[in-house]
Structure 1
Amino acid sequence: ISREDAKPTGEDKTAILFSTAHKAGALADVLDVFKQYEINLTNIESRPSKKRQWEYYFFVDLSGHRTDKNIQDGMEEVRKHCLQLSILGSFPRATELL
């Protein structure tokens, strides 16, 4: 992750970080937006907040570049369901298996 995004290659990932309210269904609401905008999640991890008990941050990798229309529109909608949303950056995904 750098200060500037890599240019779109057509085979990209975008990393985001978000937090939601501590209430039933808050994460499901965000996941529904990804489904609605056909945004594929390739990785999702949760980490507890060091500042507030019961608050979690979610680190997510998405298929696509942040300049893709569905990613832009989806992030606008996701933001409505989050306490915090940061788009960390876009980068080419690995195309070869190691």
Structure 2
Amino acid sequence: MISNRGICLFILLSAGCFISSVYLVLQIFDFRVSFSEIEKLNKNEENLSFQANFLLSEVEHYRNQLTIRKIATESLGMSPPLKKLQVFIYLKEKEL
């Protein structure tokens, strides 16, 4: 009777150890998969951050007045008005 209980207890403990070891292996696998996905996302974030900084510097370049003037004169063919074509509007102090 005691040997049957001992054998039954041994089988139950062995099955419990086997199931917990399989569960541990599955958790390690999930951890590694999640870690690799996090690394991919970090690389993607780094790449997007670099592109965003590049675009911001490009926007700052085009906001520069000298660049705007250069593009307007070279690409669009614009030129400042001649002195005789300039129109000045003077407002009285009451209108301000």
* Fold match by TM threshold 0.5: no
Bigger Rg over Cα: 2
Q: TM-score, normalised by structure 1?
A: 0.18
Bigger RCO (CA 8 Å, 6+ sep):
1
Whose helix fraction is larger, Structure 1's or Structure 2's? 2
Q: Which structure's residues are more often strand, by fraction?
A: 1
